[in-house]
Amino acid sequence: MKYVKIAGVLALMLSLVACANTIRGVGRDVDESAAAVDDAVS
């Protein structure tokens, strides 16, 4: 029973880390897109 709880907590932590990396990547993509648009307009 103890191992099941530990495995559940580890799985939750790994999924949160994966989500954080995805959100960070989207933020970079948006930032790069805004820079490209700014360069095109200038």
Decide which of 42 and 5 is more confident: 5
Arithmetic mean of pLDDT, 11-36: 84
Average pLDDT, the chain: 85
Is residue 42 scored above 80 in pLDDT? no
Nearest to 16 by CA among 4, 24, 26: 24
Q: Which residue stretches of 1-42 are H helix?
A: 2-41
